[in-house]
Amino acid sequence: MFLIIQTGDPVASAKQKYGTFDQWFIQGMGISPQIAQVVNVHRQQALPDAKIAAEDLTGIIITGSPAMVTDKDDWLLQTQKWLEVVLPQNIPTLGVCFGHQLLANLLGGEVDYNPKGRNLGSSKFILNQAAKEDALFSHLSEHSSITTFVSHLQHVKQLPASTTRLGFCEMDENHAFRYQQHIWGLQFHPEWNAAITRTYIETRNDDLLNEGLNPVKIIQKLKASPQAYDLLQRFKTLTTSYQT
């Protein structure tokens, strides 16, 4: 069973057209909805018993969210307390965008608003040597970079000392990391496509203009990101190697 910890909802237009975060991950991994348990922690839904999670869970995904880690909402703190018990149980875990920041904060890193501003649209992720030797990214060893989709205001300002940085982009120094051998944080959205990203850009049109950005140009620069999307299949495949 895959556990999808849903920490927020898509913008209304994206939800109406394309569905919810959990549906995008389920589709990207190519799994049946019947083997995915979705818990909407931002709506106060309860997570499973942390002490027995390892017996039932194949993998954990922590989604993105419009929430901010620095707001320290009660549901966020409760989720982190749950993860403190679960993470040592060797369950493959993938945190995306807000989930990436949530994990970094939990492990001792620093999350804050990015002084460079909003990062939205297509972004070039530069893989470092550690990524080329990493279980999740090693199949991309022939690539120096891949295109990703992003939408965030906050970033991981400082990685936890216990983690391995896997690469960066122009706006974010810590675009991906690994903790131990089974936990990953991705600032970008592997579950998104160009259509979803465009919907977010259109929704944030006024904000982008107020921030001195050009929504039309951001849309024009959107590129497909098949290598990023394939990371979901890669994660699903990796989960089998952790099963006993």
Residues 121 and 218: beta-carbon distance below 8 Å: yes
Residue ranges of domains in the chain: 2-117+154-191+227-242
Average pLDDT over residues 102-119: 98
d(CA 81, CA 30): 30
Q: In the prediction, which pLDDT does 66 show?
A: 97
Q: In the prediction, which pLDDT does 163 show?
A: 98
* Closest residue by Cα to residue 166 from 133, 211, 203: 133
Q: Is the pLDDT of residue 141 over 90?
A: no
d(CA 178, CA 176): 7
* Closest residue by Cα to residue 177 from 81, 101, 98, 63: 101
Query: By percentage, how much of the chain surpasses pLDDT 70?
Result: 99
Q: Is the pLDDT of residue 244 over 80?
A: no
pLDDT one-digit tens code per residue, 24-80: 999 999 999 999 999 999 999 999 998 777 778 999 999 999 999 999 999 999 999
Strands (DSSP E) contained in 8-140 are 36-40, 59-62, 93-96, 110-113, 119-127
Q: In the prediction, which pLDDT does 50 show?
A: 84
Q: Are strands 59-62 and 93-96 parallel, antiparallel or unpaired?
A: parallel
Residues 242 and 91: beta-carbon distance below 8 Å: yes
Average pLDDT over residues 2-7: 98
Whether domain 2-117+154-191+227-242 has CATH 3.20.20.70:
no
Whole-number average pLDDT of the chain: 96
Q: In the prediction, which pLDDT does 240 show?
A: 84
State the pLDDT confidence band at 241, using cuts at 50, 70 and 90.
confident
Q: Is the pLDDT of residue 243 over 80?
A: no
